[in-house]
Structure 1
Amino acid sequence: MTTPPGDDSLPEADAVPPPRTEAERVRAAAPDPASAPDGTTAPRPPQAWFTPPQVPPTPEQAEPAPQKSLGEYLGVLLIGAASLLLLSIFLPWTTWRTPDFGRSIFTGLPATRGQSSYGLAEPHGQIILLAGMVALGLALAGRAVHERFIPYAAIPGALGLLAVFHRGMTLGDAGVTESITWGFWVAVLASVAVLALGLAALARGPQPPRS
């Protein structure tokens, strides 16, 4: 059978492929790395076109400890000042001396007798006691509940200061000599501290509630 002229689409039956080299024979005999153990070809997993660079994780920074606000320091100072104001009523406030000429003649005692006075007479002592209790309660409430209670401590501090100064201006009586001792100044300083700390908290304005 002859092939029509111009028709060369079919290869010749007796065409022999060129011989393979030794490297090609070894490569053809090696197992396919993508094939399964049973010889079948395993599907390749899809691969991304672009792999982003691996960034090492940054170490977590420790959160800074919350700083104490000025109101907390004022609360601590106010508790100390209010406690001192509360206890100052039991401190020696005055000493008084009276002449005792008749007794000195019969017993040989000195012509004057001294006596220490603790606290204040009514109603000044009650005012100091109530002022100290109220200021202490407001300071504790400001520390535990909310700082808005701290400025109100200035009110009992002012009342205590007025009572102390009124007592200091009315010392002495007919035939009696009174002198102020260190307890009076402790009460004055405690009252001033409560008043000043309360006004300082009031000047700061309202603060947000603590979580």
Structure 2
Amino acid sequence: MKTETKILYHSAEAASLRQVTGWVSSTGRFYGNDERTARYDGCTHKLCEECGKHEHQRNWTCCDECRAKHAEQRYNAMPYAEWDDGMVYSQTLDRFFNDEEELREHLADNDDLRAETLRLVICEPEYAPIIDIDEIWNDYLPEDMYLSDVAPELADAIAKVNDILTETKPILSWRPGSYRTALAASGEESSAA
């Protein structure tokens, strides 16, 4: 059996004064030998590691120009599809357009915009999801019980709603899809993909 050595609060063995050196960020946090983390914590901006030319806020990995270049590369890597009307999203403007007419009106009202620079993406619908009874009320039900056991009328009503959702597939919203596109007059064709 191990016995613990007794050390009194005021004894010399309880504590000793030592000097410690290390990196302290501008926020006052101590990081020991971790200079990199101390510098990151203490800075507000960094020099872009990709181009080495521009400063950017520390929470980004690169500058605005490099991020724009990456966004253009990701867009150009997307497969191309012809746009046969419907909802479309402009990555450049961060805006949705209901149809080609609305987009053309926006271009006509903004002389500084060109259709080729909008980075258009064909949108896909977000349908109303089926109501999952277990996911919604499972935590409230007694163990080994189902909604149909405790509230059969409610379970039947939800089943009817789910039937309507399955039949009608109502669209709740739109989201940018997987295909880039262009206005027919912009000069880009599917062969440009």
Say yes or no: TM over 0.5: no
Bigger fraction of residues in strand: 2
Larger radius of gyration: 1
Structure with bigger RCO (C-alpha 8 Å, 6+ apart): 1
TM-score by length of 2: 0.22
Looking at secondary structure, tell me which structure has more helix per residue.
Answer: 1
State the TM-score, normalized to the length of structure 1: 0.21
